[in-house]
Amino acid sequence: MEITRVKMFPSNDDDVAAYASITIDDCLAVHRLSLKISKQGDYFLFMPQIKRTNGKRVDVVAPLDNETRRMIEEKVFEAYQTFANESVKPPVRK
């Protein structure tokens, strides 16, 4: 399995740095992964979730092993760094 595409989207939510969509093997898309950054600068990736009627949140999509989770995290974190650098525009000098 290979992550063939990662798209990053800006977030207006206070606790979410960005949202991501990933494409697996150019044939399966997973949307609404949430990237959060701690105050210490650590990245955390949350899989898409739904909120049940009892208020509990559950993952809709989840990697079944640590190797797959790490692969997804590495690709998304790398894409976020590029996205964040492109989002910060240097001032125009006259």
Query: What is the pLDDT at residue 88?
Result: 55
Query: What is the pLDDT at residue 30?
Result: 97
69-93, pLDDT tens digit by residue?
999 999 999 999 999 888 655 555 5
Q: Give the distance, in angstroms, between the CA of residue 77 and the centroid of all CA atoms in the same chain.
A: 7
What whole-number distance in Å separates Cα of residue 16 and Cα of residue 92?
A: 29
The fold of 3-87 is Arylsulfatase, C-terminal domain (3.30.1120)
4-25, pLDDT tens digit by residue?
999 999 999 888 999 999 999 9
Tell me the pTM.
0.84
